[in-house]
Amino acid sequence: MLAFVAICLPAFVNAFAVARGNARLFGYDVYVPGLRVAVVTIFLAAQAPELVSRDLRSRVLPLYFCRPLRRGDYPLAKYLALTAACCC
């Protein structure tokens, strides 16, 4: 919800300025790419520690390692999960 508000706030400010008869303060193509990067960075910083800590907290991490896994399978699965969460 906070990300939605952060992305839409400049649009609301522009709409309010135009409704009062002023010129548009900035173009819509200017703020969205930079703001999107900031929102995704904050999301990644908040969610990355949760990927492993949930497995530790619910004690399923030993279940993952009770059968032989290749060295990179677990980190790859967590990376793919985080990437899928960012893309969807």
H helices present in the chain, as ranges: 2-19, 28-57, 61-65, 73-87
Region 12-28: what's the mean pLDDT? 84
| pTM for the whole structure | 0.46
pLDDT score of 8: 79
Report the distance separating Cα 73 and Cα 79, nearest Å: 10
How would residue 1 be classed by pLDDT, with cut points 50, 70 and 90?
low
Model pLDDT, residue 21: 86
